[in-house]
Structure 1
Amino acid sequence: MKMLIPAVITLVLSAPASAQSCPDILNGSQRKLNSNEIVDLCETFKGKTLLVVNTASQCGYTPQFEQLEALYQKYKEEGFSVIGFPSNDFNQDRGNEERSAKICYLDYGVTFPMMARSPVKGSDANPVFAEISKQAGVEPRWNFYKYLINAKGEVVATFPSSVSPISPKITMTLDSIVQK
């Protein structure tokens, strides 16, 4: 019995880091845009700095996909990712997912993760946006509303649609928190 207690204590104290809980924002999974592939958010994004954006394929801000991709390419080797969440909450992502995917992937060359279309505000918001809105104290006010999330899963800044993804407001904030 004397040998068992130290063994149990050692086992508990040496539990792998992966057993630690995931930030609330990353609990769960999401389907990728126009795909059957399911993304485990914790497994894929835990410990990364994220820019989470609600997108739309028929909006005046849709050209921001190009800037989001440029931002992703610039910082992806530093523990950063953009995650796009198409939504029709503002009636500007009509049509099917295949059409949205074509606009993202073919028209704008998006390579960052794009999730399946889902609500991003109100009581129907997907779990990611429900938690982000809770932490930030603000729901998306329009398409291409941006939330910067640190590696601990905490919302550290929000940016309205009018702020370009490659603006100094975003890049300076990102420079101060990415893992270098």
Structure 2
Amino acid sequence: MYLSDCFSNLYYQKRDYDYRFPSIAVTTKGQPDVATRLFLRKMKLELKLPVLALVDSDPYGLKILSVYGCGSKNMSYDSANLTTPDIKWLGIRPSDLDKYKIPEQCRLTMTDQDIKTGKEMLEEDFVKKNPKWVEELTLMVKTKQKAEIQALSTFGFQYLSETYLPLKLQEQDWI
């Protein structure tokens, strides 16, 4: 059986950082589907590969990350088979906005609903278990700023793959 038969939304392209940091990039283009969640779990358990998440710096990015880590409420009956509990938050994190000097015009003001969702996420057990996640989410709610991954493209089309990801991986800057 080929991966493409099972996981039609997987994306893999060889980039320069792949040679320095061998990796597989997987995108779900939104909410995590069952096939991708199962695939990541198998990669972690069977191949012993670390799983790092690159999501938008907003409460919904963290919600997506939490589905990979602890499962979805809709499929709670099968969470044990579909989760990767030790998934790491690579970025883009609220603290990255200043660290990587994301320009103000690329930062978005959080809506009242975003802030409400962020505060609700701070009450989730999955978030509470990791003090650094709490710190990041608290920073997001406090500053009322969010950013999409595309904000990194303000530094150039290949900044994400040529600078941001290699730095994050080299520094092991994930939580």
Query: Does TM-score exceed 0.5, indicating one fold?
Result: no
Could you state the TM-score of these two structures normalised by the residue count of structure 2?
0.31
Could you state the TM-score of these two structures normalised by the residue count of structure 1?
0.31
